[in-house]
Structure 1
Amino acid sequence: MPKDIDYNKIVIFTGAGVSAESGIRTFRDLNGYWKEFSIEEVATPCAWKNNPEAVLSFYNERREIACKAEPNEAHFSIAALEKKYDVIVITQNVDDLHERAGSSNVIHLHGELGKARSTSGNEKAYSINGNAISIGDLCPNGSQLRPHIVWFGEDIQNYEEAMQHIKLAGRIMVVGTSLNVYPAAGMLKKARHRADKVLITLDVDKRPYGYNYLQSKATEMVPFIVERWLKGLKST
């Protein structure tokens, strides 16, 4: 029989809002990327086919910005939970601020800016750190490298693994996401009824059932909830 719930397991599900306070732009806010760039021109397989130079330029700029950013108090607080709990961070973000803050178990759903992969169908990712990708940069099998990012129209990564963690977690904290990007947002409905579930964000389209909604910036509320959990208390 599979475990019903593990009260020592915490899942942290994060979106762009958790990194916004580190200076990384979100996508759908008033100053978000999609107010300046067209999704169809920089974030789809068709965009890559039609104008790979523009796609590379977009992600090279984002990679440079992410590399200069520093983790904020929310990232560090999330990492501190590992002192007492089995913590899994499931993130829609493509930066590495969770890792740099000290989180050791991070599942990326939408890819990673610090990696590239082949365009030949080989899904193996190669670490490029903060380096730009240019036309003519090839993987070991001789194919052009592309950003290791899930574009619109592509399947998200690590779905089943992330889902299993959510189903077992005794505590779930959702931070900095409007929950309007599917199928990632739909995962949260699979949380156990008895789990302590909290949603921390400034704006949300539709709250998942059973989550306590706290309208707040990540750096203001995440440390508070983390402190309660480290003391063995419920989120609120």
Structure 2
Amino acid sequence: MKKKLVVLTGAGISAESGIKTFRDSYGLWEGHNIQDVATPEGWDKNPALVLDFYNQRRKQLKEVQPNLGHQILAELEAHFDVFVITQNVDDLHERAGSKNVLHLHGELLKVRSNANPNYILDWTEDLNFGDLDNNKNQLRPHIVWFGEEVPALEEAINITETADYFAVIGTSLQVYPAAGLIDFTNSKTPIYYIDPKPIKIPNLRNPLHVIPEVASEGMKLLQKTLIALI
């Protein structure tokens, strides 16, 4: 039976594909204040801005491709039972070939009803005013904004608890509740932490292996390390 590898990914793994992050941009995302485009308050205040912002992100996503980090992670499925828990809203993991991907913060290529969070549709083009659900409620981006609950969190915790190996790739470990997933690993589960600017993880009980590299280079090292353990 294959060992289970659970991987938490963040913006750093998609940055090499050309998708900009806001971690190093003083709270700005593509030139916009996070409060304006990634909160329920921003949506209520200026929904036209929010719709346009995510329409632009959707267009950008069509212009980029998975990078080596995504590809190696998919290749590891030949050796491990791999589950990807991602904070990213792009579909680059899926396009690289990863089969088990759980999106904590929603997906750019889906929309949902503003009134019913369980009414979710696949959506690849622009989302406009007048695009409605079956009860004539406006559709909104299927994104978990700051201040909103994370519906997939319980499933992510359940997956994390069963990990034989746990990897953290390209995330600042500063956005909760995603950053707290690491606390649900078994204390004997080794953790591999790939980030060019790794932070100190407080109160960690697990064996920790830090790889201070960008995602693609770090994944090369992780691939070799994990396969050697088989």
TM-score range relative to shorter protein: over 0.9
Q: 1:13 and 1:93, CA in 2 relative to 1: closer, same or farther beyond 3 A?
A: same
Distance 2:53 2:25 in 1: 19
Corresponding position of 2:211: 214
Report the equivalent of 2:59. Answer: 64
Give the 3-state SS of the residue equivalent to 1:117 in structure 2: strand
Runs of 4+ in 1 over 3 A off after TM superposition: 30-35
Q: Percent identity?
A: 45
The answer (yes or no) to whether the contact 2:20–2:29 under 8 Å persists in 1 is: no
Among residues 184, 202, 223, which one is paired with 1:190 in the alignment? Answer: 184
Q: Distance in 2 between matches of 1:158 and 1:24?
A: 23
1:201 aligns with 2:195: yes
Give the Å deviation of 1:226: 1.4
Aligned to 1:27: 22
Aligned-pair CA distance for 1:73: 0.5
CA spacing shift, 1:35–1:96, aligned 2, 3 Å: closer
Q: Secondary structure at the match of 1:180?
A: coil
Measure the CA separation in 1 of the matches of 2:168 and 2:117. 32
Q: Which runs of 5+ in 1 are unaligned?
A: 1-5
Contact 1:207–1:213 (Cα < 8 Å) also in 2: no
Q: 1:95 aligns with which of 90, 99, 117?
A: 90
In 2: Cα distance, 1:62 partner to 1:29 partner = 18
Between the aligned partners of 1:40 and 1:172, the Cα distance in structure 2 is 32
- The one-letter amino acid of 1:107's match is L
Instruction: Give 1:107's aligned residue.
Output: 102
Listed as ranges, the gaps of 5+ residues in structure 2 are none
Check the 8 A contact 1:42/1:58 in 2, yes or no.
yes
Report the Cα distance in structure 1 between the residues aligned to 2:12 and 2:49, rounded to whole angstroms.
Answer: 26
The size of the alignment, in residue pairs, is: 227
Q: CA RMSD in A?
A: 1.8
Structure 1 residue 18 corresponds to structure 2 residue 19: no
2:114 maps to a residue whose letter is: T
| Amino acid in structure 1 at the alignment position of 2:98 | S
TM-score by length of 1: 0.90
